[in-house]
A and B are shown apart, each in its own frame.
Chain A
């Protein structure tokens, strides 16, 4: 699914990365706990989150996640946006809540991480 399609489905606004809307994401991942993102997210995924601090950007950079969609209409501050620009990440923002955002994307065929094992080796 491309970022452009995700933007349409979630009626989202592009905060940064509008040059890169044709990029493909294969997996969706939703979390407000950054440790969970580090532990479970797959490279090339999109992260849906309600957190907007710069650490979200740092976390996805480390985890090789390429795009973030902020849910519940939360917009990140300038620091977060600037950091995302520096790291070449795409930021979206939707006014939909987390549950509905996930539901819409899943319904349109974006898959999730599947069964997770907390003790399994990462990568």
Chain B
């Protein structure tokens, strides 16, 4: 990870992150109808140097320690906050990207900006430079580290293994007739293959083939197994079940031929494209089936 790349990533994040993602949401506020002397304990207790002035949730001004000191010097401690506050306040919208806040801090040199909702001026938070740094670090940690570490670890696995032949096997149990979980195996395999550093278009083809095979197991059988065997030169996908079997494989391969029940069609599947689609996604496909015994599909994709 070189310096230049890291810098660009942070810049990118300042566009991606919204002010509402990094701001402090718990804001100390005062009412405009309070006398100035009450500010003393609020600012002192909370250790802050200024606070938004709010009526019915709406931002009406900003009062700072400087305003307080001025009143103290002029003996106006009983004046109301609304008389002494700054009424023209620079604010930021909650849905603006963080980069706008960065620019505003540069432009005004203030320590903080109140954050309001775009449509109704309601105060929803306050933002400091510290909030921005914290927010960026947090996002960097989550986004970058997690996935990068997974990927780094996994994509070097073949280099670290000393053997004449290496095969990584991933096995998934597919539950029959359960449409809610249908697709989870293919989704899991997709992420795994991606982390292994396999080319995205090969990952995509392997996932589509696996997903179609998974759907067939879900729709037609009471369950089965999906196994992906990854070797440095190829991925082999095995889908096996002990379901009703396919009486005529040639017919089943025809586009549009389907024996799927109505409820499956209503969900957008069973259009008679599955097997053909698998064949079109992989480099080699073999299909074995015995009526009453089950079906075994093997699909191979060559790497590089």
Contacts and interface: CB of A to CB of B under 8 A. Distances in A.
Interface of A: 19, 32-36, 38-39, 43, 49, 51, 53-56, 58-59, 61-64, 79, 87, 118-123
B280 interface: yes
Contacts of B267: 34, 51, 53, 55
Contacts of B268: 32-35, 49, 51, 53, 55-56, 59
Contact of B208 (A38, A51, A79): A38
Interface string B265-289: 0011111111011001100000000
Contacts of A63: 204, 208
B186 A33 contact: no
Contacts of B190: 61-62
Contact of B187 (A43, A49, A61): A61
Given A54-B180, A55-B179, A55-B268, A62 B207 contact: yes
A69 to B, nearest CB: 15
Contacts of B272: 35
> Size band of the B side of the interface?
20 to 34
Interface of B: 16, 18, 179-180, 182-184, 186-187, 190, 200-202, 204-205, 207-208, 211-212, 255, 267-274, 276-277, 280-281
> Which among B16, B190, B273, B274 has the greatest number of chain A C-beta atoms within 10 A?
B273
5 contacts: A35-B274, A38-B208, A43-B200, A49-B268, A53-B267
B205 A123 contact: yes
Given A32-B268, A34-B269, A35-B273, A58 B204 contact: no
> Which among B180, B272, B280 has the greatest number of chain A C-beta atoms within 10 A?
B280
Given A36-B271, A62-B187, A118 B205 contact: no
Nearest to B270: A35
Contacts of A34: 267-269, 271
B211 A33 contact: no
A121 B201 CA distance: 13
A48 B276 CA distance: 23
Given A55-B183, A62-B183, A119-B280, A39 B205 contact: no
Nearest to A63: B208
A49 B268 CA distance: 10
A120 to B, nearest CB: 7
Contact of B281 (A33, A53, A55, A123): A123
Given A39-B280, A123-B202, 19 more contacts: A34-B269, A35-B269, A38-B212, A38-B277, A43-B204, A51-B268, A53-B179, A54-B180, A55-B179, A58-B186, A58-B211, A59-B211, A61-B190, A62-B187, A120-B280, A121-B280, A122-B281, A123-B201, A123-B205
